[in-house]
A and B are shown apart, each in its own frame.
Chain A
């Protein structure tokens, strides 16, 4: 729906998977997924990102063939597949719990999809050996899944989904059960595998870091609707809805009223305190009087900034300074907002600011995004926006 402009301008896109008006309702009342339109390019790494219950897994399962769409069409290579049984779609699928067959060895697990395709025995052995080399588990072939570590199980699951050389591989939070360190390593391995094989990966996660670091494009889901499909920097730098602005990364949010627009890509907002801010409109009308949400990234706000370079500013008092390691978090209160967060480098000269000190927070017009607040009404900004990093 709200695809990034820079993405869709490309004309000759080799579409691999296409969702057209797809909807899914489990109870005939509420939509789990609604009006889904999504084109996935051949060979891309697309991540479906969203909070739990946002419809991303349902979307994946409709593509895999374990849910039937209530409305719309799903096509692979322009052939409609939403009525094709799961076992005839030829899609590799990796589950969050890996779904390795506990009574079979690693080699038997890997041979399974090839046996289902009636490969000759010698061929199967060759493929199994090859894929075991690829995932670096060559000496584990006669182990059973419960004799493997989480990371090894994950690799077997991936290998099993890749061994029959599918053109499309789906992953449902495949790294969710791993600890942080292993997860980061596996992210790298997955990305590497994707680059090497050149097949299309569709990846489901609720972890935005994972989404941003691995994907070519990210589709942000909320309440069954895609909020934005864009590159990782697109969803971070140019969020199109307040949900995306809050869900991806951290944001300071201030409510205000639209005063008007004097220039293209610039809007004037009046805060409740009477303070005037200049900002960049995203999905908001420039009609005066509309309630709007102003957002500023913590790392784009500057303390004691030069008003010339950072025209927007608020007077505030430092209430907390937190040393996080690679950066320092400064929490400030002002008349307009309490708990405004500024992130500064741990080498910054601001490092000697004091708790209780009165300062001016400033930020650029381009870093100050404005969203329509009416669609925001049912979302708790702070809950979703903060603490997700």
Chain B
């Protein structure tokens, strides 16, 4: 009669606990990831548009500058009064340092101007009447219209300043976006270089990995195990150690140069380290195993007889490889390339240690702005661009893979 209900409840009874088990199984991992990864990353990325340090510490100035335009000239008495009051409060709250830093990020060389102005303002060192004149007399730099428009342009809770800067753009006093002066434009070039280095590394890895993968797959099981261990060995060594070994090997009076000189091949040391060459060598050494393993994993599943069949049908080896082997290896090459490319994009220690100034990749700049100048807004903006780049590459990969598989599947 009411079998349906019984069956359903039995079904639910059988099912619910396992769902809870499933949730419980991933809960610790999920919480850990959210707390230690996603949340901090989101917080950090928010820094790219966060302007609260400036806005919340200059509340009066924000209001006073609301209608000001750079064509109005140096702001009037009310603005100066608001600024002095705000800086005095900031100093009292210990926030003058951060305000000075933010303003300095926009107009370099204004850090001490802000800090000194704040200190004097806190002490009441500026006369109440003719305040503007008073301040300008003590600190003539406040008479710089560029400084004012830089501040006024950016007195919003969310700013595009850092994001623009990360792609070599700026907002001119009229509120239009424009390229930064040529001598300041660096990031687009660094992004381009980062992508280029990553592409080259990925391509070289593919070329080097294919024969090695062939050898591993063709070798007897014992030999294959030894080969795989040899390839794994560098992976078990820390990145830093491997990079430093390359520094030792490649340096001017290192083993390679000494040997070459001893053999009389060269008569003065080659410039090996701090070059693009040394960077490629070190990066490829680290990333090659990932490509090899991705390809081996796929190649192992390809029947050996396919290649034999192709040869027995009269095809030259290379053509057989191109038509039969390569299309079947492609998924492995795609996976390996995705891994190698993404790792290469984020390289930081290796370019810093053995690349020259023209080999620095974007991660080095992110580290520099995070650790050295504490310009987290810019560091975060650069990270966002890198993330954007990754998603772009991922989409291209996905699409090319899709197109490729479609073509082979038909």
**Residues in chain A within 8 A of chain B (CB atoms):** 64-66, 85-93, 95, 97, 99-103, 105, 112-113, 116-117, 142, 144, 160-161, 164
Q: Collect the chain B residues with CB atoms within 8 Å of residue A65's CB.
A: 311-312
Residue of A at shortest CB range from B330?
A103
| CA distance in complex: A88, B314 (Å) | 6
> B317 touches which one: A87, A89, A144 (CB < 8 A)?
A87
Contacts of A88 in B (CB 8 A): 314
Q: List 24 A-B contacts (CB under 8 A).
A: A64-B308, A64-B312, A65-B311, A65-B312, A66-B308, A66-B311, A87-B314, A87-B315, A87-B320, A95-B305, A97-B305, A99-B306, A99-B309, A101-B306, A101-B323, A101-B324, A103-B327, A103-B328, A103-B408, A112-B310, A113-B313, A116-B320, A161-B313, A164-B313
Chain B residues with CB under 8 A of A105 = 410
- CA A93 – CA B305 in complex, angstroms? 11
Q: Which residues of B have CB within 8 Å of A161? A: 312-313
List residues 282-337 of chain B with CB under 8 A from any CB of chain A.
Answer: 303, 305-306, 308-317, 319-320, 323-324, 327-328
The answer to whether A99 touches B323, judged by C-beta atoms less than 8 angstroms apart, is no
Complex CA gap A360/B314 in Å reads 62
User: Known contacts being A95-B305, A112-B323, is A101 close to B310, with CB within 8 Å?
Assistant: yes
Chain A binding surface, main DSSP class: loop
B72 interface residue per 8 A CB criterion: no
Q: A99 touching B305 by the CB < 8 A rule?
A: yes
B315, A112: Cβ atoms under 8 Å?
yes
Residue of A nearest to B324 (CB): A101
Q: Does B409 contact A (CB under 8 A)?
A: yes
Q: Which residues of B contact A87 (CB under 8 A)?
A: 311-317, 320
The answer for the CA separation of A274 and B68 in the assembled complex, in Å, is: 131
Cross-chain contact of A117 among B314, B323, B408 (Cβ < 8 A): B314
Chain B residue nearest in CB terms to A172: B305
Contact-residue size bin, chain B (C-beta under 8 Å from the other chain)? 20 to 34
Residue of A nearest to B309 (CB): A99
What is the CA–CA distance of A87 and B303 in the complex, to the nearest angstrom?
Answer: 18
Task: Tell me the bound Cα distance from A5 to B409 in angstroms.
Answer: 56
- Determine whether the beta carbon of A142 is less than 8 Å from that of B306: no
A99→B410 contact, CB < 8 A: no
A93:B312 contact, CB within 8 angstroms? yes
Q: Which of B303, B306, B314 contacts A116 (CB 8 A)?
A: B314
Closest 8 pairs (CB-CB, A-B): A99-B309, A113-B313, A116-B315, A99-B305, A93-B312, A103-B408, A87-B311, A86-B311
B107 to chain A, nearest CB (A): 61
Residues of chain B within 8 A of A91, CB atoms compared: 312
Task: Kindly state the separation between the CA atoms of A365 and B303 in the bound complex, as whole angstroms.
Answer: 53
Known: A93-B309, A102-B328. 18 other contacts (CB 8 A): A64-B308, A64-B312, A65-B311, A86-B312, A87-B311, A87-B315, A87-B320, A92-B312, A93-B313, A101-B310, A112-B310, A113-B313, A116-B313, A116-B319, A117-B314, A142-B410, A161-B312, A161-B313
Instruction: Mark interface residues in B375-410 (1 if CB within 8 Å of A CB, else 0).
Output: 000000000000000000000000000000000111
Q: Which residues of A contact B309 (CB under 8 A)?
A: 93, 95, 99-101, 160
User: Which residues of the partner chain A approach B315 to less than 8 Å between Cβ atoms?
Assistant: 87, 112-113, 116
Nearest residue (CB) in A for B302 is: A102
Determine the residue in chain A with the shortest Cβ distance to B408. Answer: A103
Closest A residue by C-beta to B407: A103
B313 interface neighbour in A103, A142, A160, Cβ under 8 Å: A160
Closest chain-A Cβ to B327's Cβ sits at a distance in Å of 5
Nearest-Cβ distance from residue B225 to partner chain A, whole angstroms: 19
A142 to B309, CA, bound (A): 20
State in angstroms the CA–CA spacing of A117 and B319 once bound together.
11
